[in-house]
Amino acid sequence: MENKAHALAAGVFVLFMAVLAATLAMWLTRDNGSYHAYELSSREGVSGLQPQAAVRYKGVAVGKVTHIGFDPDVRGNVLIRINVEDSTPITPTTFAVLGYQGVTGLAYVLLDDAGEVHVALQPGSSGIARLPLHASPFSKFAEQGPEILAQAQAVMRHLNELLSDQNQHLFSQALTQMGQAAGSVNSLSQHLQTTVTLRLDPALAALPALARNADKTLASLQAAGTEVSVMAREMGRSAERLNAPDGVLEQGRVGAQTLARAADRLSTNTLPRVERASDATTRAARQLGRVAEGVSDNPQMFFYGQGYAQPGPGERGFVAPTAPFVRTENKP
């Protein structure tokens, strides 16, 4: 009887502890948040995604996956149902994509905004709103896998052609020629070194004297520069004196104005008078010429006036006078 009492007590204790553990688990896993259900439909595979997987909005956990199955409305599509907290900023630009956690291969649903409004998806037969599900980078990589493999095969084929026996022989010849060229360059460098040693060393020995001469030349240039500076200052002072109010330039300007006025008076008064005197002189000279011609032709004009004298004996036009007629009487 005592053994049965101990067994009953042990059974009651175990049952109490089981109920307590279940209650504690329910209390710890309770979720008093308010959620909104959404559906995702995808033609691609969702390997790695499990129920109760996390749902994140821009990296922040906002819900979990509640169901994974086949879409009854679209044959061949996978239907994913998620619960998202009501406080999550779901907008018409929100879309979903599958993300993967490191090397474990476990997937989760990542929500994000594209910045552009998507075409609104019609709710499924369950009446739950649907969000667009974009292809994940791993899915794109899997889709491009055959193309990448074909390109890799093409690259390997080109490498095999590049490393053919004929090309390897050409490579060997090129390496041999490169070695010969390196030897030629080495010989040339030795020759140059010898030339520099024999011809450049004397020039280097003459550098100190050349440097001293350069110092002297530089000192001469500095002295010449000083003299040029003094000359420039003197020229500046001379220019100031020339540009002074009573300077040479001002006096020259006044003299030029006086000369211009004198030239103006000469051209206005003196030259017309000189011109009139010249005309009178010209007329007097013409009259004097005519008088000289008259005197030359008729010198007697000084005695007889302007009339012409009768030509004398021996002159052209001379006519001898005739004797006067004397009447004679006849004597008986």
Q: What is the pLDDT, as a whole number, of residue 94?
A: 86
| Cα 235 from Cα 233, distance rounded (Å) | 5
The H-assigned helical ranges of the chain are 2-28, 137-143, 145-162, 165-205, 207-242, 248-265, 271-297, 301-304
Average pLDDT of adjacent 10-residue blocks, the chain of 332 residues: 70 86 77 80 83 88 90 87 88 85 80 76 79 74 72 83 80 85 83 68 63 77 80 76 67 75 75 77 77 67 57 68 56 44
In a domain, residue 189? The reply is no
Contacts of 65 (CB under 8 A, 6+ apart): 49, 50, 51, 52, 53, 54, 55, 80, 81, 82, 108, 109
The total number of structural domains in the chain stands at: 1
| Cα 123 from Cα 67, distance rounded (Å) | 16
Q: What is the pLDDT, as a whole number, of residue 272?
A: 77
| Cα 90 from Cα 112, distance rounded (Å) | 9
In a domain, residue 75? The reply is yes
| Cα 61 from Cα 55, distance rounded (Å) | 6
Contacts of 139 (CB under 8 A, 6+ apart): 44, 45, 98
Per DSSP bridges, beta strands 107-113 and 54-57 are: parallel
Per DSSP bridges, beta strands 94-100 and 133-134 are: parallel
In a domain, residue 118? The reply is yes
Provide the residue range defining the domain that includes 129: 33-135
| Cα 161 from Cα 167, distance rounded (Å) | 8
Q: What is the pLDDT, as a whole number, of residue 196?
A: 62
| Cα 70 from Cα 52, distance rounded (Å) | 17
The answer to whether residues 133 and 114 touch, using CB atoms and an 8 Å cutoff, is no
Q: What is the pLDDT, as a whole number, of residue 331?
A: 46
| Cα 110 from Cα 59, distance rounded (Å) | 7
| Cα 97 from Cα 131, distance rounded (Å) | 10
121 phi and psi angles, rounded to 5 deg = -90, 135
In a domain, residue 19? The reply is no
pTM of the model: 0.38
The H-assigned helical ranges of 72-164 are 137-143, 145-162
In a domain, residue 38? The reply is yes
Q: What is the pLDDT, as a whole number, of residue 227?
A: 80
105 phi and psi angles, rounded to 5 deg = 80, 0
In a domain, residue 252? The reply is no
Q: What is the pLDDT, as a whole number, of residue 332?
A: 42
In a domain, residue 73? The reply is yes
Q: Which amino acid is at 281?
A: T
In a domain, residue 94? The reply is yes
Question: 118: closest CA among 96, 137, 100, 94?
Answer: 94
